[in-house]
Amino acid sequence: MIKYEGKNSWWIILIFVIYNILPLVFILYEVSDLFTNIWWLLFWVFYYGLNLIWIPVFVRNRVELFDNYFIFYYGFGKEEIVIKDILEINRSRNPIASSANSLDRIHIVTKDKDFYISLKDNDDFINEIKQRII
Protein backbone atom coordinates (compact mmCIF):
# COMPACT_ATOMS: atom_id res chain seq x y z
CA MET A 1 0.00 0.00 0.00
CA ILE A 2 1.23 3.47 -0.93
CA LYS A 3 -0.16 6.45 0.96
CA TYR A 4 -0.47 9.87 -0.72
CA GLU A 5 -1.24 12.88 1.45
CA GLY A 6 -3.73 15.46 0.24
CA LYS A 7 -2.62 18.96 -0.61
CA ASN A 8 -4.02 22.02 1.19
CA SER A 9 -3.12 25.22 -0.64
CA TRP A 10 -2.22 28.38 1.23
CA TRP A 11 -5.31 30.20 -0.03
CA ILE A 12 -7.78 27.68 1.39
CA ILE A 13 -5.98 27.78 4.75
CA LEU A 14 -6.14 31.59 4.60
CA ILE A 15 -9.90 31.46 3.93
CA PHE A 16 -10.32 29.16 6.93
CA VAL A 17 -8.31 31.48 9.20
CA ILE A 18 -10.21 34.59 8.06
CA TYR A 19 -13.51 32.74 8.48
CA ASN A 20 -12.64 32.06 12.12
CA ILE A 21 -11.06 35.43 12.96
CA LEU A 22 -13.62 37.75 11.36
CA PRO A 23 -16.37 37.19 13.96
CA LEU A 24 -13.86 37.74 16.75
CA VAL A 25 -13.14 41.20 15.36
CA PHE A 26 -16.88 41.88 15.39
CA ILE A 27 -17.08 40.76 19.03
CA LEU A 28 -14.39 43.26 20.02
CA TYR A 29 -16.42 46.17 18.64
CA GLU A 30 -19.91 45.05 19.67
CA VAL A 31 -19.41 43.54 23.12
CA SER A 32 -22.18 45.50 24.87
CA ASP A 33 -25.23 43.29 24.27
CA LEU A 34 -23.77 40.61 22.04
CA PHE A 35 -24.53 37.63 24.26
CA THR A 36 -27.72 38.92 25.86
CA ASN A 37 -29.80 37.93 22.87
CA ILE A 38 -30.33 34.17 22.36
CA TRP A 39 -30.22 34.64 18.57
CA TRP A 40 -26.66 35.90 18.74
CA LEU A 41 -25.67 32.93 20.86
CA LEU A 42 -27.26 30.52 18.38
CA PHE A 43 -25.54 32.32 15.53
CA TRP A 44 -22.10 31.85 17.11
CA VAL A 45 -22.76 28.19 17.90
CA PHE A 46 -23.81 27.40 14.33
CA TYR A 47 -21.13 29.61 12.78
CA TYR A 48 -18.29 27.92 14.62
CA GLY A 49 -20.10 24.59 14.39
CA LEU A 50 -19.27 24.61 10.68
CA ASN A 51 -15.68 23.95 11.74
CA LEU A 52 -16.84 20.41 12.48
CA ILE A 53 -17.12 20.04 8.70
CA TRP A 54 -14.11 22.15 7.67
CA ILE A 55 -11.48 20.63 9.95
CA PRO A 56 -11.95 17.01 8.77
CA VAL A 57 -11.64 18.22 5.16
CA PHE A 58 -8.16 19.58 5.98
CA VAL A 59 -7.03 16.70 8.16
CA ARG A 60 -8.57 13.64 6.48
CA ASN A 61 -7.47 14.25 2.91
CA ARG A 62 -5.47 11.36 1.48
CA VAL A 63 -5.35 8.43 -0.93
CA GLU A 64 -4.29 4.87 -0.14
CA LEU A 65 -3.20 3.03 -3.28
CA PHE A 66 -3.38 -0.77 -3.34
CA ASP A 67 -2.65 -3.24 -6.17
CA ASN A 68 -5.94 -2.99 -8.06
CA TYR A 69 -7.84 -0.19 -6.31
CA PHE A 70 -7.37 2.95 -4.26
CA ILE A 71 -9.34 4.53 -1.43
CA PHE A 72 -9.85 8.29 -1.39
CA TYR A 73 -10.54 9.86 2.01
CA TYR A 74 -11.90 13.41 2.09
CA GLY A 75 -13.50 14.83 5.22
CA PHE A 76 -16.12 12.38 6.40
CA GLY A 77 -16.24 10.66 3.00
CA LYS A 78 -14.50 7.50 1.84
CA GLU A 79 -14.56 6.37 -1.79
CA GLU A 80 -13.11 3.15 -3.19
CA ILE A 81 -12.14 3.26 -6.87
CA VAL A 82 -11.20 0.14 -8.82
CA ILE A 83 -8.26 0.95 -11.10
CA LYS A 84 -9.58 -1.09 -14.04
CA ASP A 85 -12.68 1.17 -14.07
CA ILE A 86 -10.59 4.30 -14.74
CA LEU A 87 -11.10 5.61 -18.26
CA GLU A 88 -9.02 8.78 -18.00
CA ILE A 89 -6.63 10.37 -15.53
CA ASN A 90 -4.86 13.70 -16.04
CA ARG A 91 -3.87 16.92 -14.30
CA SER A 92 -6.25 19.86 -14.11
CA ARG A 93 -6.24 23.42 -12.84
CA ASN A 94 -9.94 24.11 -13.32
CA PRO A 95 -10.94 26.33 -10.34
CA ILE A 96 -14.66 25.59 -10.52
CA ALA A 97 -14.40 21.86 -11.09
CA SER A 98 -14.73 20.59 -7.53
CA SER A 99 -14.05 21.13 -3.88
CA ALA A 100 -10.47 19.86 -3.85
CA ASN A 101 -8.22 21.83 -1.47
CA SER A 102 -5.84 23.03 -4.18
CA LEU A 103 -5.98 24.21 -7.78
CA ASP A 104 -3.30 21.66 -8.64
CA ARG A 105 -5.68 18.73 -9.14
CA ILE A 106 -6.03 15.34 -10.74
CA HIS A 107 -9.13 14.70 -12.85
CA ILE A 108 -10.21 11.07 -12.79
CA VAL A 109 -12.96 9.70 -15.02
CA THR A 110 -14.32 6.22 -14.28
CA LYS A 111 -17.17 4.21 -15.76
CA ASP A 112 -19.57 5.57 -13.14
CA LYS A 113 -18.33 9.06 -12.24
CA ASP A 114 -15.70 11.70 -12.63
CA PHE A 115 -14.08 13.59 -9.78
CA TYR A 116 -11.07 15.64 -8.77
CA ILE A 117 -8.48 15.04 -6.08
CA SER A 118 -5.54 17.12 -4.96
CA LEU A 119 -2.40 15.41 -3.68
CA LYS A 120 1.04 16.61 -2.65
CA ASP A 121 2.60 14.32 -5.26
CA ASN A 122 0.17 14.32 -8.18
CA ASP A 123 2.69 13.17 -10.80
CA ASP A 124 3.78 10.09 -8.88
CA PHE A 125 0.16 9.09 -8.26
CA ILE A 126 -0.75 9.51 -11.94
CA ASN A 127 2.27 7.44 -13.01
CA GLU A 128 1.41 4.67 -10.54
CA ILE A 129 -2.18 4.53 -11.77
CA LYS A 130 -1.14 4.52 -15.44
CA GLN A 131 1.28 1.65 -14.79
CA ARG A 132 -1.47 -0.37 -13.14
CA ILE A 133 -4.03 0.31 -15.87
CA ILE A 134 -1.82 -1.20 -18.58
Mean pLDDT value across residues 96-118: 86
> pLDDT band for position 103 (50/70/90)?
confident
Give the C-alpha separation, 26 to 10, whole Å: 24
> pLDDT band for position 26 (50/70/90)?
confident
What's the pTM? 0.80
Residue 83: is its pLDDT beyond 70?
A: yes
Least confident of 17-26, 74-83, 110-119: 17-26
Strand spans (E) along the chain: 2-5, 61-65, 69-74, 77-82, 86-92, 105-110, 114-117
CATH classification at residue 26: 2.30.29.30
Q: What is the pLDDT of residue 93?
A: 83
Average pLDDT score over the chain: 88
Order of strands, edge to edge, in the sheet holding 86-92? 86-92, 105-110, 114-117
Task: Tell me which residue range forms the domain holding 38.
Answer: 1-134
Residue 34: is its pLDDT beyond 60?
A: no
Residue 96: is its pLDDT beyond 80?
A: no
| Structural domain count of the chain | 1
Q: What is the pLDDT of residue 4?
A: 96
> pLDDT band for position 35 (50/70/90)?
low
Residue 70's Cβ-count burial label (10 Å; 0-12, 13-18, 19+) is buried
Percentage of the chain beyond pLDDT 90 is 57
Residue 69: is its pLDDT beyond 90?
A: yes
